[in-house]
Amino acid sequence: MNAPIRHHATPNEPLLSLFQRMLDEMEQKESVEWDADTGTLDASIYHDPAIYDKEMARIFKRVPLCLGHEDQLREPGSMIARDLFGLPLLLVRDRKGQIHGLLNVCRHRGARLVAGEEEVCRKGALSCPYHAWTYDLDGTLRTVPGAEAFPDLDKSQRGLRRIPVQVRHGLIWGIFDANATDIDVASFLGGIDDDLAAMELGPHRFYRQHARRRKCNWKLVMDAFQEFYHIKRLHARTIGPFFLDTKSAGEGVGPHLRVLVGREGLTEARQKRPQDWDMRRDATLTHMIFPNTVIVYHPDYTSHLGMFPTAADEILFVHTMFTPHEPQNEKEKSHWDRSFELLDGGVFGEEDLFISEQIQLGLKSGANNDFLLGRFEHHVRRFHSHIERMLKD
């Protein structure tokens, strides 16, 4: 049965306060969001392999990372394989509905259980193609052909290796440390946890996903979603006309960021009661969840973006669309298909990722030893300051 159609979530107090600040922007000649200071970023942070190695060890293998929506693994036996941070990962929903993060490596001779990547498939069990050792969907070793050849085998000690995963607000979170035993997503999210509850992502449905590798550093793409100086310029032919120029309100929440960007119809919101402000239609709410997740709340669907570094100058960019319900007619399906193509191919692919690759191409030329950050780009400076602190720990 489809979830009820509901595009208007009830915002919590921090989001209401942020919305009021954004409305105040309409009255200002200078933005209340402007920072008095400017600054620079050392260009080497985007291409130095030593910095990249530290980021992997001290950030990406320490904190919970968002891997998508649980609805992608809708039925028991659903699984998806993806290599991330040197780990061949399987996300699997077992027969009881529990989702597990398992390493895609047989505990006998190390062959992969699922050879491909990205595609969701369904299996009743996991069987190694080499010697047919077979595992339950929760990773427990079930059968060993010719078991008499392993008289000392303790099956309970030869289950698949796992990483801690947790489903919260419909999203799958995992820690990419094979030695980690627990995960606390709510504590990691802090105040963003309440935001995600208010935006009601749990009942949403997985609609489409596109994963691709692009030649740029992961931080270049994250930077693009933490300043809005570029929207009317880089996105002039796509989404730019829907937004006001540099009218936004944002604030840090621990290492994370919540931002509202004013849409063209924002002036009408002044006539509404606060409880009727719409975080999707009057403005666009975006969450930057440290280090590599962006969630964008469009008027009637949601984009989840994952920036997964594969090298100092390469990224696996995963864009997933969630919808409030399955399309109920051909018109709605056509609308969401067009929206996905516009964002995925036009906005993200031909604009955000394109410009990030163009920057990456010039990094080693020496043209810029550092990059200038203006008063509109204070969220970018804050993001990099938090990275610097973690790399020193």
Look at residues 127, 128, 91 and name the one whose alpha carbon lies nearest to residue 110.
Answer: 128
In the numeric block, which tokens belong to residue 4?
Answer: 């009820």
pTM of the model: 0.92
**Sequence spans of domains, the chain:** 13-62+189-392, 73-183
Q: Residues 145, 147, 151, CA angle at the centre, nearest 5°?
A: 160
What pLDDT is attached to residue 153? 97
Give the full edge-to-edge strand order of the sheet including 302-311. 205-214, 314-323, 302-311, 293-297, 283-289, 256-263, 243-253
Q: Give dist(CA 134, CA 132) in Å, integer.
A: 6
Look at residues 196, 170, 261 and name the one whose alpha carbon lies nearest to residue 11.
Answer: 196
Residues of the chain with pLDDT under 50: 1-7, 32
Q: Give dist(CA 316, CA 68) in Å, integer.
A: 14
Q: Which residue has the tokens 């049965």?
A: 1
In the numeric block, which tokens belong to residue 324?
Answer: 């409030």
Q: How many CB atoms lie within 10 A of CB 115?
A: 9
**What's the pLDDT tens digit per position in 233-269?**
999 999 999 988 878 889 999 999 999 998 888 888 8
**What's the pLDDT tens digit per position in 8-35?**
567 889 999 999 988 887 776 555 455 5
Q: Which residue has the tokens 């008499």?
A: 148
Alpha carbon 363 to chain centroid distance? Answer: 25
What pLDDT is attached to residue 10? 72
- Strands annotated E in 22-160: 39-42, 65-69, 78-84, 87-93, 99-103, 120-122, 126-127, 134-135, 141-143
What pLDDT is attached to residue 364? 80
Burial bucket for residue 264 (CB in 10 Å: 0-12, 13-18, 19+): exposed
Q: Give dist(CA 238, CA 339) in Å, integer.
A: 11
CATH of 13-62+189-392, one of 3.90.380.10, 3.30.420.40, 2.40.30.10, 3.40.50.12160: 3.90.380.10
- Contact, 336 vs 327, CB < 8 A? yes
Answer yes or no: same fold for 13-62+189-392 and 73-183. no
CATH code of the domain made up of 73-183: 2.102.10.10
Q: Rg (Cα) of the chain, in Å, rounded? A: 22
Q: Give dist(CA 213, CA 34) in Å, integer.
A: 34
Q: Give dist(CA 306, CA 214) in Å, integer.
A: 13
- Contact, 262 vs 244, CB < 8 A? yes
Question: How many residues make up the chain in this entry?
Answer: 393
